[in-house]
């Protein structure tokens, strides 16, 4: 029997290369025999690793070989988006683009005001945006920031193309804040009319919805609410 440890290491290796953009959509992976030789493992171990990646929609197998999928069936988790911010100053995966539909200062709903410890009537930055890869929509999100951040990073209130790129990193640089605590929460539910319209699915379709909270000792830096269309895969590693 191939070891579980080796099987997961091979899957993690190629998953990380895909998520980082080192293996772009459509790229061809080495043959099973080549991977087996590089890792010094049995062919069965390689097959199990690649089968896992195929189930997760990272790769596809054809008579011509194994290739990275190019149809947008995966995206980043909140954890991996924060890692992207820390590593390359962008919340987007390689090849993923975004389009901002709303950027405004508003009085938020009560639950958001409580998260940011706001007084009644205080305003907050609200940004609504779509992420995608090619023609596929990979995420619909709303992100919230303290109102005073808009004076330091005016692009928080802009919907112009390209202004969303690297925005989280620019907020951290301009404010001098450092994210010291992060949490994701996720649940499956039916899409609302607004979410269904944004994601291009039917109202009531099953979606994965989640929130992330990035903060330091002074409070919330960024709060995000997001949802993914059906059959989009996200995942992340953790230490047991």
The rounded distance, in Å, linking the Cα atoms of 3 and 21 is 28
pLDDT digits (tens, 9 = 90+) for 31-64: 999 999 999 999 999 999 999 888 877 888 888 8
Least confident of 8-12, 142-146, 221-225: 8-12
If one compares 17 and 112, the residue with the highest pLDDT of the two is 112
Does domain 4-68 fall under CATH 3.40.30.10? My reply is: no
Q: What is the pLDDT of residues 179-221, one digit of tens each?
A: 999 999 999 999 999 999 999 999 999 999 999 999 999 999 9
Tell me which fold the domain 78-228 belongs to: Chorismate lyase (3.40.1410)
In this chain, the answer to whether the domains covering 4-68 and 78-228 adopt an identical fold is: no
As beta bridge partners, residue 224 has: 143, 212
Angle between helices 4-20 and 32-39 (to 10 degrees): 110
CB-CB contact of 231 with 146 (8 Å): no
Q: Is residue 154 over pLDDT 80? A: yes
Domain ranges of the chain: 4-68, 78-228
């Amino acid at each position: 029997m191939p070891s579980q440890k080796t099987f997961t290491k091979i899957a993690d290796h190629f998953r990380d290369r895909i998520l980082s953009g080192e293996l772009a959509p459509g790229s061809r992976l080495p043959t099973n025999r080549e991977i087996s030789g590089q890792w010094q493992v049995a062919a069965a171990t390689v097959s199990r690793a690649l089968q896992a990646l195929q189930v997760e929609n990272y790769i596809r197998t054809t008579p011509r070989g194994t290739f990275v999928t190019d149809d947008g069936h995966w995206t980043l988790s909140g954890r991996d988006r924060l890692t992207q911010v820390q590593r390359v100053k962008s919340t987007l995966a390689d090849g993923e683009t975004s389009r901002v539909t709303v950027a405004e200062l508003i009085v938020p709903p009560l639950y958001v005001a409580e998260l940011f410890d706001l007084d009644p009537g205080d305003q907050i930055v609200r940004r609504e945006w779509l992420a995608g890869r090619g023609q596929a929509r990979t995420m619909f999100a709303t992100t919230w920031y303290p109102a005073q951040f808009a004076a330091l990073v005016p692009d928080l209130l802009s919907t112009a193309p390209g202004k969303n790129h690297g925005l989280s990193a620019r907020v951290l640089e301009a404010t001098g804040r450092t994210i010291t605590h992060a949490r994701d929460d996720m649940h499956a539910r039916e899409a609302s009319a607004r979410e269904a319209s944004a994601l291009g699915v039917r109202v009531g379709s099953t979606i994965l919805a989640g929130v992330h909270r990035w903060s330091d000792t002074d409070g919330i830096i960024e709060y995000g609410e997001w949802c993914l269309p059906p059959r989009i895969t996200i995942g992340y590693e953790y230490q047991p």
